[in-house]
Structures are given as C-alpha cells and as structure tokens.
Amino acid sequence: MPTLRPLRDYSEHEVIPFFTYSGSLPVNRGTVVKIVGSGFLGQDIALAGAVGYQPAGTLSERWTVVPQVAPVTATTDKPIGILLKDGREVDENGEQLKYRPRKAEEMHVFISGQNAPVVTEGVFHYSGISGSVLPGDSLYASTLVPGELTNFTGSAANLKVGTALSVKDSNGWAFIKLNVV
C-alpha cells in the first residue's frame, strides 16, 4: 500500500490541481495515477447531487470536479504522477467528512468530488515499492499491484515514473526521485 512521509521536496509548480479521483475511497497518498477519459477540457465542475436530506423548499447541492484520475492498472496506461493527499469519505469515528470540511482539511484528505492534487516531479520518502531496489534503479508503475511502484525490468517503458535514491529500509521506506515525463 503506497504512502508518503512528510519529508519531501517538490515545487508547487509540479502539482496538477485539476482532477478528482475516480474510484472507491479510501485511497492512499503516493498512489500512481493516470487520466481517465478525455482529461481536462475546461469544464471544471458539475452538479453531484444533494449533500444529504433535503426538506421541501430547501436546496443544498454538492458540486464535483469533472476531470478524473484513477490508479494505473495496465501496461498501456500513461501515468501522470502520484496523489499528494489521502482520499477519505469518513473520519476515524465513522462520521462523514462531507459534513465536516474543516476536519477533512485538518486530516489533509480529499473527499469524493474534490480536487485530488497530483504531483509529477520531486523527491519523496515513499513506501509502496514492490520488491527490492538499489540506488539508481528505474521505477515503474506496477500493473500487478495498482497504485504502487516496481523496478521490474520487464515493465513497459511508458510506465517509468522515476528513480530510486536509496534501498528500502527495514520498514519498506525508500527515497525516490519522481519524474513523470
């Protein structure tokens, strides 16, 4: 299961804020994603339906971002980066985060329909690499474990997303240089 630690170095210019996550939540930060459908065509939001109970004479609509990303699952996919935030619908007590947006921000998560920031370049302390790695190994989006990375040399060249900067420690963490071209 991929995830990121706070020790990271990236530019905000390398973050793409135009997409929402397409798939079931929860999803972990560090998940390698691809664009779903036609991508960003300029229509940034659409109606997503009611927030919850709607008594007569009231209107409380939810809006959603239209362009979507999903985990890389096939060798023909083209990764665009990794998620910077976790995706959640409920907090640790089972309460819906759509009713508590401040709590979602405190937890550094996005909920369905909200922007899921995707980073394309940077240095990260990353957990979610299948197998062992050596410094300098190329890292590819894994198609066997969607959302994770692998150094499997039989991977399709279009799935390359970066380079390992260290070996994995005893807990499975390694430093990586992400550079999705």
**Segment 113-123 mean pLDDT:** 94
* pLDDT of the residue at 65: 76
For the segment 26-41, the average pLDDT, to the nearest whole number, is 90
pLDDT above 70: residue 127: yes
Does 1 have pLDDT greater than 90? no
CA–CA distances in Å: residue 105 to residues 88, 114, 119, 131 = 11, 12, 18, 34
Averaged over 50-64, what is the pLDDT? Answer: 68
Could you read off the pLDDT of 137-169 as tens digits, one per residue?
999 999 888 889 998 866 688 899 999 999 999
Mean pLDDT value of segment 65-74: 89
Rounded mean pLDDT of the chain? 89
Predicted local distance difference test score (pLDDT) of residue 141: 93
Strand segments, DSSP code E, in the chain are 3-9, 15-16, 20-21, 32-36, 45-50, 61-65, 68-71, 79-83, 86-87, 109-110, 118-119, 121-127, 129-130, 138-141, 149-150, 160-164, 173-179
Is the peptide bond prior to 17 cis by the omega test (within 30 degrees of 0)? no
